[in-house]
Each structure stands twice: as structure tokens, then as C-alpha cells.
Structure 1
């Protein structure tokens, strides 16, 4: 039997231990089914998304992304954006600690690839617009593709300059592109975009929104025609475009977008954005989920987005960017593929076991008599397991469980209970508010005080399923809550 090896060990670079585990045998990726894709997805599409943490909810348990901030110039102004603000602890699009040249980006990417075995995707998401600041974007991708040919390349754009770059994007094998589309009605766009810069002049008002809309639609159609996967990001702004996003979804789905990501507006006066300073609120978690649920009839939705910084590094639930600032990166770096290659081999085995656990959970839940589905939050460090202390969690992943199965519905960010810095009681009140509508929290460990306080607020916290697969733990808790015994399957 192969020795048991955790993804925590993999992530810290236990290469020899990983290899030893592989040499001793164990389930192969084919026998465990990890090479299988979803039933509703063509094999060639699955091959593109299976290791991309943004395009596959399943992949985000295992694989990491990296953004390099090489494209500072932007050609539109959004009322929710202010790229001048920076805080090392702030996770928000457009925020960076340092801007890079393409040559600096190459050094940084190789350093990350040598240190972070989960690294699978390199993206350029600003801090401006990747397609407008195209020369730097193109040079960066060319340098990286030469050194690390197996890394996936993707970019994010507002779409205004996108049609001018599609042919080059296709030639460079950039097969994932994200477009931020917040409206398909230019009238609504006037409330979101003060101006755009197009054809060497600044446009405002309805004309600006009309041009932006037409260019976004053209870019989307051109990408789909070239078999490039498109993810559409939409910012949910209550009272402005929240209801309109239903029409946005219908239009982009009709034009072939692969994935739609409805993101909550981040609105804090401290960020200095127009919306933040004028009191425009963001949606509550329950409002966001309600809108996503209205769009779930056949639409592929991204519910695991973390609205990353433009210099983010690591798994989606973490950001290790401060470990790889340029003052910590060596002047001369050479790529060593061994860590990433060994990690992928072991992950193939882990994914196979995880897939089997999902199937077993679905089968067990189908046998249960239950009422309405409930929400369960999980504290996890990644790897698809319940493996984080309640007091250390900076976010909780939320799942819906019922007789029809288990589905991921989103994540809720929170202050860490053990490290909040402004009083544990106040921090716990914030966590309780964050977990609105959640019935239970599953974690690796929890103290008596927070457990009792959460129970008083109507939320059960359990560490009984520590280090179980997420689906197995949720199924076990749900069966216990119903007083049902889980039928064992072969």
C-alpha cells in the first residue's frame, strides 16, 4: 500500500516523500477516475479547465494561480475601481504592491514555479487592462511560455481593446480570457462608467457606454469563434444592475460564454472609489446567492471567485504575494520542473479518491428523506478536505446539502477568531453575521468557547469530521442531523 501523503506535505515541497509514495504504488489516475470529466463537458474542454482554479470549482482545491502586475494602463473608468489604493491584506481587483516589467515578471514567475507546486495558471489582470497595455502583456507571456511551456496563460480585460488583440491571443495559445461585462443596456452603463478612452479621444455618457457594449460583444463573439474559453465577470451593484444581470446572463450565454461569474460589489469608503464615497452598498451574501440561484438553470456559474488582487499568488483562498516581492526574488533564476511534476502525479491520485467520495455522498444522500436543503460551511486550507482550525479560518466555503446532493454555493470571508486583533467577542459577532443562513460549520478543531457561542446563535460547529473529504464530512453531519444511518456502498 502506498504511504499516506497529504497535500499539505506536497505544498511545502516534500519531493522525495512524494516520489516514495508514488513508487510504492497505490491507485492510478485511470483506475480512480481522476482523468474523467463531467458528464456535460466535452473531453477537449475538460482538458482545458481541469487544472485551472478559476474555470473549474473542483480544480480550485488543488491548483494555484499567479497574477503579474505588468499592465498598469487602463482605457476606462469604473465607479467601483481605484487602483491607487494598496494594502497588503486587501483582496480586491486592481490592487498591487509593486508594478513589474516583463523581465521582472519572468524572474518572479520562475521563483513561484520553483516554490509553489500547485502553480498551474499565469494570468495578467492589470492593474489596468491587459489588452490596452498590450505590448507589456504580450512580452510577458512570450517570456514565460519560453521558460515554462506547460503553464496555462490567461488574461482579464474590460473588452474595449479586445477585438484588436484576438488574433494575437489565439496565436499565443492563450485559451482562457475573462471579460468584465456589467451591462448590455448602455443606459445602465452610464451609471457604472464615467468615461472611456477610444480612438484617441475620451467619450462620456451614453455614447461611451454604447461603444463599450459593442466592443465587448464583438470581442466575445471573436473569441468563441476561435474556440477560446470565455469567462464573463459581472459586478452585482444593488439598485443599478442587479436585476439587469439576468439579461446580461442571457445574452452572454447565448453568445457562447463558457462561464459567468457574478461578483459582489466591494464598496468601502476607505478604498476611495466613487461608489464607496457616495454610499453605494454592496450585496449581502444572501442576495448574491439568490441572484445566482435564479441563473442556475443550465448556466455554468463560477461561485468560488475570490476577486483577486492583480498580483495574487497561491490557491484562491490564500494570497502569498508578499512572499515573492522583487526584493526577495533572486537576480538569476532557472526553472526546475521537478516539484510541479511530482505534485501533479500525486494530485491525480487524490482527485480520483475525491471523485469516488463525491459519488458515494450523492448515493447516500439520495437514500435520505429530507426537507429543504441546508447550508453547511467548511473551514479548509485546500485539497478538498476539512482541514483548518475554526479560529484560523479567514473564509468559509459554503455548500448546500439535501437529497439531490451537495453543491458549492460560495465562500464567506471573515476575520480570524484567534487573530482578529480587536477582541474575540467582537470578531465572533462578525463571523456569526458572515454566516447568515448557515446551519453548521465543519472544521478540523474548535474550542469550547466559540463552539458554545455559535450554538447560542443557532449555528452548530463540529470538528468530528476533521480531515475527512468535504463531501464525506458534510454527508456524515447531515445524516446525523436527520438521525439517519448512512448505507455503506462497495
Structure 2
């Protein structure tokens, strides 16, 4: 290669590194920890998760939801809150956490499988319109509920998309509840993927800021992350968070992805979307700056009784 060719390649590589360092969402950088690309932005703002959603409409092979105070992972909370209780928690949190900017709902079930999350968002938005409202969903009911989320003041959206190939998705989510019926296997997978992509496209049309969560599962979807990123990017997503599998439930026999496997999957995704790399795999009742501060015990105390009312539909 000539000297000029080497220089040109070096400049191109430098340009790619500079682009990777730019915030994905400048308006949210430092204001939403889960949509901030840089470590500095991630560490500035606190978020509050409200565990108001009791039901889930899909059954993922890796998902084991629970009520406890010790596990630090999605699908876990100390208890469920009613909408009014959640509003009171926000009021306390605003006094306790000076850098609180985001209120999100991410479980313990799926926020769109019942009305609890949307009702809670609407009440919070009416009282504190300056807060950024955020929802994390599996996307099965997203096309039907995206208008309700928009009306309730939600502006940031995370959709968990683990595959866009029904053969792969069927291994990850073998069954779901759809219109009062149980769907299994490929039929369930096709239904979920279609709802997710349709919902993402409609959310983009309404101006939502959209991030994708993808669980990296060795031997199942580890070769498929690039295709997921390309497909959801075409639908309207702008960021992806590749989350290493926590080996549990029906996938307890698998190993957590290695550093090299995580790096390769994120590199595959980065060809199509900005990649979020600061995920702490938060609880459904998390409060504070992810990985830096935790106000959960201060907000919820030790006198609350657990309410194990999970359901798959």
C-alpha cells in the first residue's frame, strides 16, 4: 500500500473512532443514563424504575421473575406498586435524589400486558411534565398501545428483540398469549417478531427515541446479532444494548457469553446502530445512577410485603 493509501486508511479509522464517540442522542446525553453513549453522560443522571406491571404475555426461556431484595437483574422487584403508590414514590424520590431525571417502567411483568403502566405514566406526566418517561417492553402489544404511551407523555422506548428469524426466536420464546389464545413455536415467534417491528416503526413515526435490548445467548442467537441490528435499524431504532445472558430457568445449562463473544456481537451490531455499553442489568424497582448509587431501600423501606401475582396472560 502506498504512503497516501496508508494515510487515507488511518484517517478513515480515526473518523470511525470519532463517530463512535459521538452521543447517540445529544438531547438525552447526561439526562438519561440508559440512552447516554458516553461514560460521563451515563453517570450524570439518576433514573427510577416503578414496579407496577404484574402480568407478562410471553414466556422466555431465560426469564425467571421473582420478588426479593437481593438479586440485581431484570424481572426482580421487592413488590408490586399500585399506580397511586408509584406516584407517591416519585414524590419521595424527587426529594431524595436531586439528579433524578428519568422515570421508567420495566416490569416486573411487561408494561403493555396490562393498563397499570400507562395509567401510572399519565398521572406522573400530569404532575411532573419535566421528567423523562421511559418504558421497556417485549413489544407484543406495542402496535396496539403505542398511541396510549404517546398520549401519556412517554418519549423513550426500549424494545427487547432477541431474534428476527422465527426459527431462532422459537427457541428463545417458545410460547405466548395472544388475543386470549396460546401460541407456540414458530407461530408464536412470527407473531412476536411482526408485532415488534410494526411497533418500532409506528413509534418512530410518532417521534419516540428507540433503543433495542438484545440478550446474547451462546449457541442460539450469538451468530444473529448483526441481522437483528440491521432489521430493527430499518424499522426505526437508533441504539442497541447487547446484554449477556444470565443462565437461568430453561437456559441454566448454558454459559454466560465470554468477553470475546460479547465484543464480537457488539461489533456486528455496531455496523448498523449505536451500541450502548454501560448496562447494569437493572431491577424493576431500581433507583439512582446505574452502578453508582442505589436508593431502592430508602424509597421502599423494609416494611413492604411481597405480592407474588405473576402471570403469563
**TM-score higher than 0.5 here?**
yes
- 1:460-488 deviation digits (Å, cap 9, x = unpaired): xxxxxxxxxxxxxxxxxxxxxxxxxxxxx
3-state SS of the aligned residue for 1:290?
Answer: helix
Q: Higher Cα Rg: structure 1 or 2?
A: 1
Separation in 2 of the partners of 1:93 and 1:217? 23
Separation in 1 of the partners of 2:188 and 2:63? 17
Shift of 1:220: 0.6
Shift of 1:186: 0.5
Separation in 1 of the partners of 2:279 and 2:269? 16
In structure 2, the partner of 1:91 is 72
- The one of the two structures with greater contact order (alpha-carbon pairs below 8 A, sep at least 6) is 2
1:281 matched to 2:268:
no
Of 197, 205, 213, 1:233 maps to 213
1:211 matched to 2:191:
yes
Of 290, 297, 305, 2:271 maps to 297
Shift of 1:275: 1.0
- 1:360-384 deviation digits (Å, cap 9, x = unpaired): xxxxxxxxxxxxxxxxxxxxxxxxx
1:253 matched to 2:227:
no
Shift of 1:85: 5.3
Of 27, 36, 60, 1:78 maps to 60
In structure 2, the partner of 1:31 is none
Which 4+ runs in 1 deviate beyond 6 A? 38-42
Contact 1:108 1:326 in 2 (8 A): no
Shift of 1:83: 1.0
1:166 matched to 2:140:
no
Shift of 1:327: 5.8
1:321 matched to 2:296:
yes
1:399-410 alignment runs, 5 A limit: none
Separation in 1 of the partners of 2:29 and 2:125? 18
Contact 2:29 2:37 in 1 (8 A): no
Shift of 1:49: 4.5
Contact 2:30 2:45 in 1 (8 A): no
1:293-442 alignment runs, 5 A limit: 293-297=267-271, 299-317=273-291, 318-325=293-300
Question: Cα RMSD (Å) of the superposition?
Answer: 2.0
Separation in 2 of the partners of 1:285 and 1:76? 29
Separation in 1 of the partners of 2:272 and 2:182? 39
Aligned CA distance change for structure 1 residues 310 and 255 (closer, same or farther; 3 Å): same
Separation in 1 of the partners of 2:21 and 2:191? 39
Shift of 1:225: 1.0
Q: More deviation in 280-289 or 90-99? A: 280-289
1:194 matched to 2:168:
no
In structure 2, the partner of 1:152 is 132
3-state SS of the aligned residue for 1:282?
Answer: coil
Shift of 1:72: 1.2
Separation in 2 of the partners of 1:160 and 1:99? 22
Aligned CA distance change for structure 1 residues 145 and 173 (closer, same or farther; 3 Å): closer
Contact 2:28 2:36 in 1 (8 A): no
Aligned CA distance change for structure 1 residues 208 and 297 (closer, same or farther; 3 Å): closer
TM-score normalised per structure 2: 0.85
TM-score normalised per structure 1: 0.55
Separation in 2 of the partners of 1:201 and 1:76? 12
Shift of 1:258: 1.4
- 1:372-397 deviation digits (Å, cap 9, x = unpaired): xxxxxxxxxxxxxxxxxxxxxxxxxx
Of 33, 44, 54, 1:62 maps to 44
Separation in 1 of the partners of 2:118 and 2:50? 12
3-state SS of the aligned residue for 2:195?
Answer: helix
In structure 1, the partner of 2:3 is none
